[in-house]
Chains A and B, each alone.
Chain A
Amino acid sequence: MRYLPLQPEDRAAMLAKIGAPDIDALFADVPEVARLDGPIHQLPDHASEMAVERALGAMARKNLTAGDAPFFLGCGAYKHHIPASVDHLIQRGEFLTAYTPYQPEIAQGTLQMLFEFQTQVARLFGTDIANASMYDGSTACGEAIVMARRITKRGRVLMSSGVHPHYVAVAKTMAKFTRDEIDHRDPALTAETDITALIAAIDDDTSCVVVQYPDILGRIDDMSALAEKAQAHKALLIAVVTEPVALGAIKAPGEMGADIVVGEGQSIGVGLNFGGPYVGLFACKEKYVRQMPGRLCGETTDAEGQRGYVLTLSTREQHIRREKATSNICTNSGLCALAFSIHMTLLGEKGLRDLAALNHAKAVKAAERLSEVPGVELVNDTFFNEFTLKLPSDAREAVRHLADREILAGVSLGRLFPHASELSNGIVVAVTEVATDADVEQLADGLASVTQNQREEVPA
């Protein structure tokens, strides 16, 4: 077995030192009922590196890879070009095979990186501070709602209809523990968001208002008035960002008064990975720091007065505070935070702004081109790199037909809101820098032919 260095003579010598007759003697405390007579029968025996690589390679080849097709999916996970050095650097063993930096004297690499990451996230979001990462955007959002409850001691949560439905589902799962009451509706296929309705709904029982920016249909709306109303009622405004590249082009939620800003960092540095691992971003106003979940890295000095970094304020955390902790999170998304931070460093202010401008321009052009397709209607007035189209009939069907032609057309709203028939003709299309003009043409042609077929089959 190539991963096990002990040889038979080592094992014999070690058993002798221990004073055990055989290995079974070390398992003597296992009760009779749970003793097995040998390796577990249903499972195969060990395999060579080549054999394993072949078997898994065969499974990998059954998938249609984003890079091999015109690709337009978004809705919480985005395909961007990741510079080659990002993956190279995160594979350095000193990053890859380190543990959480509990011994700061020999973990300054991870700690300094986290301090830089926290700074990048806080600046991107326009907030005072950020933590060292959460599992992903959806769980960060759930934790933000729980944090708002701790701060306001209220349990009424207003969730905008523009929040990703999976994020809403996670919040509802969390609410089963907290007994929060979650007020949420499905979105309407309109250019307007529900901000006005949310403003009207805030009252003195409201713990927080949760708004996604840009929202699930790609719409962008100003949150300032909402922030003001929330503040007047001592409720918190939580902004959710699933596409952080957007913040290279549009105002930061913090600038508009959001109290907590959470997000999914996947689109910078991490890659699609069929949904995980991703990296949850969590930022807020400094006055709430002691209510924050997750790890925080802070600056300090060592015994010789040299600057250094440590994990700090851990009296909020489970390993110190146990049942009184702000969250149960322990392992977070360290290596994905590193990937995010390296990609962000390569971009810098200039690169992020250019990348955002490129995404937006490509998306605008694509939206114009696609809304020329007969029967296809653009829903949005505003958007960044993702917008919603209304097709003449069920968009799920269209997506499947186009997938058969190896075009990954977008996310149908039927997939995200299977119970909402009024949304079933909607499709959310994301256009990032990786989409070429030829890809957009293929999508337009594809949409033209499926909508034509659909119009012929199902008269309106």
Chain B
Amino acid sequence: MSMNREGRPTRPQDAEATSETFTGNRALMLEEPLLFEIGDATLTGVDLEAAPQAESRLGGLERNRPIGLAGLSEPETVRHYTRLSRQNYAIDLGLFPLGSCTMKHNPRLNEKVARMPGFADVHPLQPVDTVRGALEVINELAFWLIDLTGMDGVAMSPKAGAHGELCGILCIRAALEARGDAREVILVPESAHGTNPATAAFAGYRVENIPANADGRVDLEALKERLGKGGEGDCDVAGVMITNPNTCGLFERDMKAISDAVHEAGGFVYCDGANFNAIVGRVRPGDLGVDAMHINLHKTFSTPHGGGGPGSGPVVLSEALCPYGPIPFTAKTKDGVVHLVEEENAAEFDHNDSFGRMVAFHGQMGMFTRALAYMMSHGADGLKQVAEDAVLNANYVLRSLEDVLDAPFGKSGPCMHEALFSDKGLADGFSTLDIAKALIDEGYHPMTMYFPLVVHGAMLVEPTETESKAALDQFIGALRSVAARAKAGDKSLHAAPVHAPRRRLDETAAARKPVLVWREPEVAEAAE
């Protein structure tokens, strides 16, 4: 079945085509049993040399009972995982407009570089003289991040965005404690990603809302009023966590004024940098008064998401927060040598006030090499083009759809790198979920749905800069068609997806009686 320019089948769908088969397979759509149903305890896909004779030193703690692992030979293993892989959607297959996630193309050069033995096969505790090249990569990447953000320093070790948030908030806490100023509150807008309030609470702060105004941005006057509460010199606000560009897809016009107001009240500004892709190479957060911002290397700098990680979340820091940043970090001395600064030599590098360690080793080296390859490939000119094309693509989507889908902030100015729609105007009984699931049948991963929370039935579309105009036009065509069906009350939408490896899955049942591990059928039955 071929597709025309609008992305519709050229021939009508043949209902008979989905009739039952003996295997349950449908040609290239292959069902795959669980590993534990096809493997067993005696099968293995590795050949090992025989263990030499030696006396046991296990102290009588030998594991005598079966572990319960299942093995497969190599051909069966390759087939099991290859079959599983084909039940996934991925950027490599098509546009992945998941708002806030920056699902851009993952260049394969980066994969090659990360696998160079000099990076992939070095141990984190090797003597530093044997890993100078690895330290150089970390240091080089640190400087790119500092230059791109206009900040003073960067903590490289956080393992993902949320971990970076924790790092930034801990810096803020340390800075406040250093001046004997225990404050209790972090202000977070309602539109923020869930990790922001979760981080602030995890760090022991009380979370309060920053009100938004009607155009989808932070209400500066309300913020000022909240900061002023408690009177002169008696502010209880440790800081704010603001996403810029924000999760409604808008640039916070008043960002500098917000920072100034927070600083004046003695607080700090944490910026969630998940949306840095919209401004990379064009705007430096340091110029807007930001004190700390994490950068998701797995978003802006193209390291692959891998079905849920690993990520990497370096945090750039202002001069005021640098002294408190975590160890270890790298530092280049005048002789050009890159040093690893850890607990024992922190004093030599004037870093006595560090709040400590975020992780066991040096951070996500495998993501650093990929991100650095990406940055060097683009250069300053290419990165600026990245932001511009990402923003152009999102505005093109916004303006091509706003006549069929409600764009709640369509009049608030241009959007940044994502376009936000709501479920307003869909026929009664039709929801964002129906639109998302119908897009699956059209061959797309849906947009982010029901986030941000400030918009009813939110649909957040982030096309990224690595999509061509032709790819966008086809996606727009598909979404227009689905939106028209939802507005017309086409009940067949409720059944979508019908062409995916599974129909809608029962999430309520999954949560009511959680089955989180496989059990042998007799064991599972006995437990019933």
Contact = CB atoms under 8 A, between A and B. Distances in A.
Interface stretch (B9-17, B261-269, B394-402, B485-493): B394-402
Nearest to B118: A60
A172 interface: yes
Contacts of A166: 357, 359-361
Contact of A34 (B40, B287, B342): B287
A225 interface: no
B361 A116 contact: no
Interface stretch (B69-77, B219-227, B230-238, B315-323): B69-77
A403 B391 contact: no
Contacts of A459: none
A112 B344 contact: no
Contacts of B198: 318, 321-323, 325, 327-328
A327 to B, nearest CB: 7
A330 B256 CA distance: 29
Most chain B CB within 10 A, of A43, A250, A321, is at: A43
Contacts of A325: 194, 198, 201
B44 interface: yes
Interface in A319-357: 319-325, 327-336, 338, 342, 344-355, 357
B283 A348 contact: no
B142 interface: no
A164 B82 CA distance: 37
A18 interface: yes
A137 B360 CA distance: 8
B69 A64 contact: no
A41 B88 CA distance: 42
B259 to A, nearest CB: 10
Contact of B373 (A52, A128, A380, A400): A52
Interface stretch (A73-81, A203-211, A442-450): A73-81
A443 to B, nearest CB: 15
Interface residues of A, number: 215
B46 interface: yes
Contacts of A273: 119-120, 122, 365-366
Given A4-B389, A60-B118, A272-B123, A49 B109 contact: yes
A395 to B, nearest CB: 12
B147 interface: yes
A358 B359 CA distance: 31
Contacts of B465: 4, 6
A28 B413 contact: yes
A116 B518 contact: yes
B27 interface: no
Interface stretch (A102-110, A154-162, A227-235): A102-110
Contact of B469 (A13, A31, A58, A132): A13
A229 B81 CA distance: 44
Interface string B117-142: 11111111111011111101100100
Given A34-B284, A53-B113, A349 B41 contact: yes
Contact of A17 (B59, B282, B304, B400): B400
Contacts of B148: 40, 43
Interface centre among B85, B101, B358, B369 (most CB of A within 10 A): B85
Nearest to A179: B204
Contacts of A251: 61-64
B308 A47 contact: no
A104 B399 contact: no
A106 B366 CA distance: 27
Contact of A323 (B82, B207, B495): B207
A381 B467 contact: no
Interface in B66-112: 66-72, 74, 77-78, 80-82, 84-93, 96, 98, 101, 103, 105-107, 109, 111-112
A84 B129 CA distance: 30
Contacts of A321: 194, 198
Contacts of B344: 418-419
Given A96-B106, A105-B437, A105-B502, A85 B74 contact: yes
B200 interface: yes
Given A46-B382, A89-B82, A99 B305 contact: yes
Contact of B399 (A17, A289, A331): A17
Residue of A62, A118, A275, A415 ringed by the most chain B CB atoms within 10 A: A275
A298 B393 CA distance: 37
B501 A348 contact: no
21 contacts: A3-B105, A17-B399, A26-B395, A29-B253, A31-B253, A36-B284, A59-B118, A66-B121, A89-B85, A95-B307, A100-B308, A113-B81, A252-B67, A272-B120, A325-B198, A328-B195, A335-B304, A345-B71, A352-B69, A404-B129, A419-B343
7 nearest A-B pairs in the assembled complex, by CB-CB distance:
A348-B71, A275-B361, A335-B306, A60-B118, A93-B92, A62-B133, A334-B308
